Structure formats: C-alpha cells, structure tokens
Amino acid sequence: MAEHLLRRTPSADRSIQALRGKPARAWERLEPELKAQGCRAAGYRLLASDGSWSPYCCKHLSNSWRVITTFEPGIVWVIAVGEHDGPGFYGQLTDSLGISNTGRRREQKPRCCGQDGWPSIETESG
C-alpha cells in the first residue's frame, strides 16, 4: 500500500510547530502512522451538529491535546491541533466545521475507519 500524503491547514501547521515536550513527541510518533495507515491511525469519528457522524476524526495526542483529521483518497488532512481545555477548542470547531459541541460516551464513538478501510461518512448515522 502506498503512503498517504499528509497535508496540514495553516492553523494546524502553526499549532504543530508550537508543540513542545510530550505533545511534540506524540506528534512525531503520530505523523508517520497517519502517513502509513491513514484513517486507521486517526482515532474516532466526531458528531456533526445535526447529530449524524461528521467526516472528521479525533485522535488523542497527549493528555488533553487532540488532532482533528479528515480524508480524501490518498490524502490525510490535519485540520486542527489543540488542547481540549474546556469548550474553547471544540467551540471553534463547532463554528468552522459544523461539529457538534456535545459528544458521545467513549464506547459509543465509532472508529474513524469503516470496515473497508475508509471513513464511512454517509453510511453511519448517530
């Protein structure tokens, strides 16, 4: 399987460049995993504001740090990297990406990848 291209939004790139310590080391481990595995390394799906599953996935990076990704064929898009320190980080995503500001319990969150190895955006619903 070919390696995925990894693209970062400008804001995600700035956040990654600013990482220090444990979160920076966690990113250094995650980046090659995303390139090699795509959505299999991307954690769990996030809810859309309408209650369906969004095309965005969340990976716990380190402690309260999160990485938000989405995918195109052969491309991993890193949309946002930030500290989940209350409503601020996800509040920004709610406004810009249409992600729900309320989540589900950990056991109710589907993996980012569907059985076919691709985020099954239209086939799963909340």
Q: 63 — alpha (psi -120 to 50), left (phi > 0) or beta? A: left
**Concatenated DSSP letters for 39-108?**
GGGS-EEEEBTTSSEEEEEEEEEETTEEEEEEEETTEEEEEEEEE--SHHHHHHHHHHH-B-SS---GGG
Number of domains in the chain: 1
Give 53-74 pLDDT, tens digit per residue.
888 999 999 989 999 999 988 8
36 pLDDT band, cuts 50/70/90, is very high
Is residue 112 in some structural domain? no
Residue 65 lies in a domain: yes
Average pLDDT over residues 113-123: 62
In this prediction, residue 57 carries a pLDDT of 93
Q: Which residue has 């086939």 as its token pair?
A: 123
- Burial group, residue 96, by CB count within 10 angstroms (0-12, 13-18, 19+): exposed
Structural domain contains residue 38: yes
Question: pLDDT averaged over the chain?
Answer: 85
Domain residue limits at 20: 5-103
- pLDDT at residue number 34: 96
* 88 domain-assigned: yes
pLDDT tens readout for residues 60-113: 999 899 999 999 888 999 999 999 876 677 777 787 888 876 666 666 778 898
The pTM is what? 0.86
**Residues 6 or more apart in contact with residue 30 via CB below 8 angstroms:** 41, 59, 61, 67
- Does residue 108 lie in a domain region? no
The answer to whether residue 117 is domain-embedded is no
Element (H, E) at 125: none
Instruction: Look at residue 23 and tell me if it is in a domain.
Output: yes
Give the pairing type, strands 44-47 and 53-62: antiparallel
Any idea what the CATH number is for the domain that residue 63 is in?
3.30.2310.20
The lowest-confidence range among 22-26, 38-42, 91-95, 101-105 is 101-105
70 located within any domain: yes
